């Protein structure tokens, strides 16, 4: 029997999720339909789309820009949240949980973005244990990855942002939401004040493909540089590659978060390396 999935966003035509999830389904040998679901950008429309999908027998939904916070609010008021979703204040994965009876179905929101990042970094062979890490950016992208990184056993974490006060507010909010983060004592600074050598620097700003460049101090260095964006050449990665760092864009994070969603929905385990090769091979054809 075909299992039905959607990704809800606005805009949504560009989403790569259908091809990624079809590759997963082929790998584990199940029959799925996975479609892009456009939704007007308002609460009532979003809630109605989610309700219609699950009432119609849908198994799982991904949620992307700009609806991750609305999905969080919906699960908070009408369902349940995973710890990662609760702390991130954002949901990218929706499913129904319950005892299996048709009447006992509760909406459940998870957030697999941060664990997708951790899994990708680990698969690159970059060590997170005790690593000295800086994240640049204090928006939604940074918010979603801080708890999973700390849970992965990193050492010191510095959160840098153009607007220092936003970094401080984010750390305060996250510390209030999670003892794990509170106990880790995340440091903050202005991006221009970020100096020294880190094991890993992660670009979590939205600057990626805008053509703007981050103001990076001359004496800021790292062994590994990761940009959560993907697509064409990213100036942040070019900067640190020229200084001898290993670099990666966020394409592997996209596949990694998708794999975790798929695993939550279907209870199948995905070989992410094999799936990534299959997706790349299909693009070349
Ligand atoms: P989100 O919707 O993900 O929460 P956001 O709040 O716009 O997005 O955050 C994007 C992040 O990119 C912020 O950290 C932002 O810095 P500010 O808090 O100072 O605005 C950062 N960012 C965006 N454009 C930038 C630029 N040109 N230079 C430096 N940082 C930038």
Ligand 1 within 6 A of 213 CB?
Answer: no
CA of 144 relative to ligand 1 center, distance in Å = 14
99's CB contacts (< 8 A; 6+ apart) are none
Q: What is the DSSP letter of 105?
A: -
Ligand 1 within 6 A of 138 CB?
Answer: yes
Atom of ligand 1 nearest to the CA of 166: 18
Do the domains 3-111+253-283 and 115-249 sit in the same CATH topology, yes or no? yes
- Residue 152: the pLDDT is 98
Classify 223 in phi/psi space as left (phi over 0), alpha (psi -120 to 50) or beta. alpha
115-249 — its CATH code?
3.40.50.720
- Residue 143: the pLDDT is 96
The tens digit of pLDDT for each residue in 77-92 reads 999 999 999 999 999 9
- Residues 228/204, Cβ–Cβ less than 8 Å: yes
- Give the active site residues: 68
CA of 216 relative to ligand 1 center, distance in Å = 15
- Residues 88/178, Cβ–Cβ less than 8 Å: no
- Residue 283: the pLDDT is 78
Ligand 1 within 6 A of 206 CB?
Answer: yes
Ligand 1 within 6 A of 214 CB?
Answer: yes
Gap between the Cα atoms of 8 and 68, Å rounded: 9
| Low pLDDT (below 50) residues in the chain | none
- Residue 254: the pLDDT is 97
- Residues 158/187, Cβ–Cβ less than 8 Å: yes
| Per-domain residue ranges of the chain | 3-111+253-283, 115-249
Beta strands in the chain (DSSP E): 3-9, 32-38, 60-63, 80-81, 93-97, 106-110, 133-136, 157-161, 187-190, 196-203, 220-227, 246-248
3-111+253-283 — its CATH code?
3.40.50.10860
56's CB contacts (< 8 A; 6+ apart) are 4
pTM for this predicted structure: 0.95
Tell me the pLDDT of the chain averaged across its residues. 95
- Among candidate residues 218, 238, 215, 237, the one with its CA nearest the CA of residue 228: 237
């Amino acid at each position: 029997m075909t299992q039905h999935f959607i990704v809800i966003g606005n805009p949504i035509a560009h989403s790569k999720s259908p091809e990624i999830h079809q590759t997963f389904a082929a790998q584990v040998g199940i029959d799925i339909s996975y479609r892009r679901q456009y939704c007007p950008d308002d609460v009532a429309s979003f809630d109605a789309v989610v309700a219609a999908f699950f009432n119609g027998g849908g198994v799982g939904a991904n949620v992307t820009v700009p609806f991750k916070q609305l999905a969080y609010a919906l699960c908070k008021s009408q369902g349940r949240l995973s710890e990662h979703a609760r702390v991130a204040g954002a949901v990218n994965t929706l499913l129904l949980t319950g005892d299996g009876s048709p009447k006992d179905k509760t909406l459940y929101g998870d957030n697999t973005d941060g664990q997708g990042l951790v899994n990708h970094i680990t698969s690159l062979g970059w060590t997170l244990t005790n690593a000295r890490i800086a994240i640049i950016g204090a928006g939604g992208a940074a918010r979603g990855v801080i708890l999973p990184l700390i849970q992965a056993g990193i050492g010191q974490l510095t959160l840098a942002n153009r607007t220092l006060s936003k970094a401080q507010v984010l750390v305060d909010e996250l510390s209030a939401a999670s003892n794990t983060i509170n106990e880790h004592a995340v440091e903050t600074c202005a991006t221009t004040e970020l100096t020294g050598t880190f094991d890993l620097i992660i670009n979590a700003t939205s600057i990626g493909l805008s053509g703007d460049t981050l103001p990076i101090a001359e004496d800021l260095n790292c062994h590994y540089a990761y940009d959560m964006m993907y697509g064409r050449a990213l100036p942040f990665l070019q900067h640190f590659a020229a200084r001898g760092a290993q670099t990666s864009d966020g394409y592997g994070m996209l596949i990694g978060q998708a794999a975790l969603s798929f695993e939550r929905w279907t209870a199948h385990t995905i070989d992410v390396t094999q799936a990534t090769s299959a997706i790349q091979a299909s693009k070349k054809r």
